Structure 1
Amino acid sequence: MGFEEMWSELLPVGRDPDGGGYRRFAWTPPELECRAWFLDQARRRGLDVEHDRNGNLFAWWRPDGAAGPAVLTGSHLDSVPGGGAFDGPLGVVSALAAVDLLRERGVRVRRPVGVAVFAEEEGARFGVACLGSRLLTGAIDPARARGLRDRDGRAFADVLAAHGLDPDAIGRDDDLLGRVGCFVELHVEQGRALDAPVGAASAIVPHGRWRFDFTGEGNHAGTTRLADRRDPMLPFARMVLAAREAAERHDAVATVGKVDVTPGGVNAIASSVAAWLDARGPSDDAVRRTVADVHDAARAAAASHGVAVRLAEESYTDTVGFDTALRDRIAAALGGVPVLPTGAGHDAGVLAARVPTAMLFVRNPTGVSHAPAEHAETADCLAGVEALAAVLADLTRG
């Protein structure tokens, strides 16, 4: 089964028939269907399937004579709310297709090859991005992970248990990591900087997520005088504007894309507002200053309206520079492709703390990501498969 056939099978899963966006949250029916699809594809190819204790999936190709640390590739299958088709699945489908090419061409592989599907990469359900790879590498405390809850109040631990995993066993897995020599993730470009079908990543810029909780006093929208109100929506609104202002000051980007209002009634003054800030920038200092400025503005506005505000950092990743030797080897194997940084986080960025990692990008002509207009031309996708196959062939020579 080639790339295009596999792609057409995955395309309808979790897609909104009206808006065209995807909703494949971790361990919900659409994402579980994608997982089942991956496992079926792996078994059809005679690959050895492994479920790790953190909810990640692996399919291993171990030809006769292949030994030593594996070359791992792959990505994720979950999505953001209303996301695009390519973010994550392109890397998984391309990995399977690249293995097919190596086998069809009789490439002699001296090291095992693995295809990974990492769990909860987007953090859309439990709030922490790259949760599966963070647990695998020890980048998040297992106790904290067990206590994460989704919008319906379901704990991560309970969801794992419902799908046959032991919540008490999650965490850093040195044995599995010790079997991996390097990791190469192929991903759709999340921007419009790439002027060729395929490029390589130099680094991931600093990025993180912060939660602001504004607590006021719920009351009647029609009978409560303005002077008597403790409305948390007002400092929340100031916080949204402050994010844009602070980002402009510090040459960063800042986004408030998720908010929960309690109780959420049209005719009721809110009692509390939870809002999430995503901030990214060229340096740790730029990001930290942006968040500090937003916090200062939120506290000042909250105080003027009799509202309390609390800030909590949910996740943060400083600059990730991909392994230079691996990046240069990949670029050389591909004849000198463009090399560019990215403002998006990836499992490759998390794994970089434990194993050499690199990334390949496939051109996105729209420049849009995390939205239905995210796109890659079929010819560029096929070029990505060829590039990944060439990289795997080079890295598995020994």
Structure 2
Amino acid sequence: MLLFGGAGVAVSLLSRCWSGRGPLSHRAWMAVSVRVHPSPKCLFDEPVQVRVSGLSPLQQVTMKASLTDEKGQAFRSFAFYRADGQGELDLSQSPSLGGHYTGTEPMGLFWSLTSGTPFTRLVKKDVASSPLYVNIEVFDGHGTLGRLPEQPLAASINERWFMKEGVRRIPVREGRVRGTLFVPPGDGPFPGVIDMYGSVGGVVEHRASLLANHGFLTLTLGYFGYDDLPMDFTNLDLEYFEEAVNVLRQHPKVKGPGVGAIGISKGADLVLSMITFLPHVIAAISIGGCNANTLEKAEGHFLFVVGEDDKNWNTPLYVQQAVEKLKENGRENYEVISYPEAGHLLEPAFFPFCYASFHRLVGLHVIWGGQLKPHSLAQVDLWPKIQTFLRKHLEKQSKL
């Protein structure tokens, strides 16, 4: 019989655990449980520790994780493990022997989540009122997703939220500016950041909401295909982005005088234009962007992020050209982070890897590139470096 607890509470199964070794008398009834530490509820970008207890010594098991997004798309991962001599399993200590990944990867079940539907990308629309639920199950033996036993030995649910208590989400319709503001809890003042995604259009909120959890007052900015904005970006004007910068700077909880900007793909191109021509943009992060701007005129600081297996954009070449141009003009106001075997879509930590997806604007499937494990580990490595870069330059500037 399954013993169910509330949401996020481990579900244990009183089951006969059999390791497949030894005579029948070595079988035993024991309670198997899966626990998520330190809590079954956390923020989406927070690591957790998964432990299993109550197994037979050295028992072979398959760990499986699954989630269903807001569109009903299912994402799953699995990996093979072996319990220790006490019948316990700690994913932060034990290596995966196969499956979606190998080696000791404490969060492997999360970052290796893969959709069974080709060209599917995980995007969280409702960041305020609902988490993503990751169901973690343990099965006897080493199987595949299609050949696992019908009943798990035990299961647990991990709730992964995008906004911590106290963060405020505020829709923005001020002048021409359209977007969403995320305000951290507390009196502030906080470093201000403008966040933009690429040519898919609309407003993408998950990165901005996560940044707010870390103390950044973030405006995720729409620039086409949203609200009453134009449906394409063929006639963008710099004044719109300057207006957005001023909206952010004028917020009473934003540190001044400068703000930061982070963008990916087309958003990265725009971020580079902003730091070049708008004096109050003093720190810019370009993820998979193009260098078609006069960068040598910028007084602020650049962080260029390169996925060396980017199949959508020749990011390594563009960043090389940008750095050469800065060096020619005696500039040292830049940093470059480059990841081998990472693709175009470098998201916050633990987002499922997306090799290709449907692009609404062009009406075709687009290849982003990258390899599952190196791309996913690049996201884990990059996410705190983004925060460090922004904090370093925005807090330094605010003291001038």
Greater helix share, structure number: 1
Q: Which structure would you say has the larger Rg?
A: 2
Task: Tell me if both proteins adopt one fold, taking TM over 0.5 as the criterion.
Answer: no
- Between 1 and 2, higher relative CO (CA 8 Å, sep ≥ 6) is seen in 1
TM-score, normalised on structure 2? 0.34
Greater strand share, structure number: 2
TM-score, normalised on structure 1? 0.34
